[in-house]
Amino acid sequence: MAGFPIKYATRIKTLPPYLFAAIDEMKQKAIARGVDIINLGIGDPDLPTPKLIIDALSRAAADPKNHQYPSYEGMLSFRKAVADWYRRRFNVTLDPVSEVLTLIGSKEGIGHIPLAFVDRGDVVLVPSPGYPVYPVATKFAGGKVHLMPLTKKTGFLPDLKAIPASVAKKAKLMFLNSPNNPTSVVMSKDFFREAVAFAQKHKIIICHDAAYSEVYYDGKRPASFLEVEGAKDVGIEFHSLSKTYNMTGWRIGFAVGNKQVLNGLLKIKSNLDSGCFQAIQEAGIAALNLDDSVTDGLRKAYQERRDVLVPGLKQLGLEVDAPPAAFYVWVKVPKGYKSASFTAHLLEKAGIVTTPGNGFGAPGEGYIRMTVCTTKERLAEAVERMKKAGW
């Protein structure tokens, strides 16, 4: 029997290819040609998950009580561990019952939050360059994206004063991200205060993505959005164990803050997923209770790598600043190149995978993003390869 043409929904047909999937395809083609790839493209920690976390998972996975459906909002014991961690780390008090929600990774929560609050035609304020899920999730919900350009002129921070009043009037959500992906810029408490005032004035929910808050350098710890007075009245903060504890594949995170906003997100989640595997939540508790010496060690490793890559790039004549946090290096492309052409050049001539800045949004044109998720030796080799290739 003959088949029939399969037609995708409009929302699928209008989506660009997911940035990191496209990079992986490009990388695989180079590997197939026999190229020794140095992958500086995707922010995936190469260091192993700490053993205490793995041991906690092993014990919990063997316990039959964890083999059934978990609760939608997450185990109260995990949410208590989150609240305890927030109090220790940020001096922020959270009610684990109503102000903490377990997520299957922060990406899941970010992807679902517009479905709870955005109707067709509503506006969502999105930093650009930024994490591609912010605009994609907005479009899935039928919302309109208003980009907040992050440029060198603004210190790679959103210029809230530049948002037209007509746009702010229609806006339902604002995504913020500090430390920022891809620029690594850290927002100050003063900026958070400005954002809270803006949100209160225009009745906008702030969704702050703090996935990289524990990857910082020189002892300068980024602030939580919730440290600012009034923040809990207007928004929530997303967090992930992925980057903090090298648990990207485990898929566990959480959202904290305004209880009404979290309740809206929970209503979406309860209809679309069945919660996070309890054994992974038990491992998450072990992670959140780890001594700071574990995360200090991870930060030390990333800082050593940063201090190999950044000076090396500067010696090549490239314009780049040492990131204060996250494991991304935001590099201005040399004259004569665009983001995509310089990315292709580095792959073809030096076997180095990077990410074109415009893949994070049009304001990212003219930059590439590199990560320090590989060894110091490979980073030094990457610099040497670029030197031999004339970049």
pLDDT the model gives residue 14: 76
Is residue 321 one of the residues assigned to a domain? yes
Per-residue pLDDT reduced to its tens digit, 345-373: 999 899 999 999 999 999 999 999 999 99
At which of 267, 290, 313 does a domain end? 290
At which of 250, 274, 290 does a domain end? 290
Is residue 214 one of the residues assigned to a domain? yes
pLDDT the model gives residue 230: 98
User: Do 241 and 329 fall within a single domain?
Assistant: no
Structure tokens at 367: 């930059």
User: Do 255 and 359 fall within a single domain?
Assistant: no
User: Do 143 and 193 fall within a single domain?
Assistant: yes
User: Do 186 and 264 fall within a single domain?
Assistant: yes
Percent share of the chain, pLDDT over 90: 90
Is residue 6 one of the residues assigned to a domain? no
Is residue 7 one of the residues assigned to a domain? no
pLDDT the model gives residue 13: 79
pLDDT the model gives residue 390: 85
pLDDT the model gives residue 82: 98
Per-residue pLDDT reduced to its tens digit, 135-177: 999 999 999 999 999 999 999 999 999 999 999 999 999 999 9
**CA-to-CA separations, 390 to 16, 69, 334, 342, 344, in angstroms, rounded:** 32, 56, 11, 12, 14
User: Do 319 and 266 fall within a single domain?
Assistant: no
Structure tokens at 271: 């209809």
Q: How many CA atoms lie within 13 A of 264 on its CB side?
A: 16
368/40 Cα distance (integer angstroms): 10
At which of 271, 290, 309 does a domain end? 290
User: Do 57 and 149 fall within a single domain?
Assistant: yes
Is residue 2 one of the residues assigned to a domain? no
Q: Quick one: pLDDT band at residue 24, thresholds 50, 70, 90? A: confident
Residue 261's Cα: distance from chain center in Å?
A: 20
42/356 Cα distance (integer angstroms): 11
User: Do 151 and 268 fall within a single domain?
Assistant: yes
Per-residue pLDDT reduced to its tens digit, 109-130: 999 999 999 999 999 999 999 9
280/278 Cα distance (integer angstroms): 5
Structure tokens at 232: 């809990």
214/227 Cα distance (integer angstroms): 15
117, 282 in Cβ contact below 8 A? no
pLDDT the model gives residue 42: 86
Range scoring the smallest mean pLDDT among 7-11, 137-141, 188-192, 215-219: 7-11
- Short-list 275, 268, 206, 209, CA closest to 242: 209
242/45 Cα distance (integer angstroms): 8
pLDDT the model gives residue 31: 87
pLDDT the model gives residue 93: 98
Is residue 47 one of the residues assigned to a domain? no
282, 56 in Cβ contact below 8 A? yes
What average pLDDT does this structure show over 69-73? 96
Structure tokens at 363: 């304001």
Q: Quick one: pLDDT band at residue 29, thresholds 50, 70, 90? A: confident
What average pLDDT does this structure show over 277-292? 97
Per-residue pLDDT for 18 more than 70?
no
236, 256 in Cβ contact below 8 A? yes
Q: What is the DSSP string of 278-325?
A: HHHHHHHHHHHTS-HHHHHHHHHHHHHHHHHHHHHHHHTT-EE---SB
Q: Quick one: pLDDT band at residue 196, thresholds 50, 70, 90? A: very high
pLDDT the model gives residue 15: 75
Q: Scanning the structure block, which residue is given the tokens 């609760």?
A: 71
Q: What are phi and psi of 255, to 5 degrees?
A: -120, 140
pLDDT the model gives residue 158: 98
pTM confidence score? 0.95
User: Do 271 and 313 fall within a single domain?
Assistant: no
**Which 3 state secondary structure label does DSSP give 190?**
helix
Question: How many Cβ atoms are within 10 Å of 161's Cβ, its own excluded?
Answer: 7
pLDDT the model gives residue 359: 92
| Greatest distance between any 2 Cα atoms in the chain | 67
Mean of all residue pLDDT scores within the chain: 95
Per-residue pLDDT reduced to its tens digit, 50-64: 999 999 999 999 999
User: Do 188 and 237 fall within a single domain?
Assistant: yes
Q: What are phi and psi of 311, to 5 degrees?
A: -60, -35
Is residue 8 one of the residues assigned to a domain? no
User: Do 213 and 281 fall within a single domain?
Assistant: yes
CATH number at residue 104: 3.40.640.10
User: Do 353 and 213 fall within a single domain?
Assistant: no
pLDDT the model gives residue 10: 86
User: In which domain, by residue range, is 58 found?
Assistant: 52-290
pLDDT the model gives residue 320: 98
The total domain count for the chain is: 2
Q: Quick one: pLDDT band at residue 19, thresholds 50, 70, 90? A: low
126, 118 in Cβ contact below 8 A? no
User: Do 37 and 176 fall within a single domain?
Assistant: no
Q: Quick one: pLDDT band at residue 27, thresholds 50, 70, 90? A: confident
Per-residue pLDDT for 325 more than 90?
yes
pLDDT the model gives residue 21: 73
**CA-to-CA separations, 275 to 90, 280, 296, in angstroms, rounded:** 27, 11, 31
CATH number at residue 374: 3.90.1150.10
pLDDT the model gives residue 1: 66
Is residue 117 one of the residues assigned to a domain? yes
Task: Identify each DSSP E strand in the chain by its residue range.
Answer: 38-39, 100-103, 123-128, 144-149, 171-177, 205-209, 235-240, 253-257, 319-320, 328-332, 352-353, 355-356, 367-371
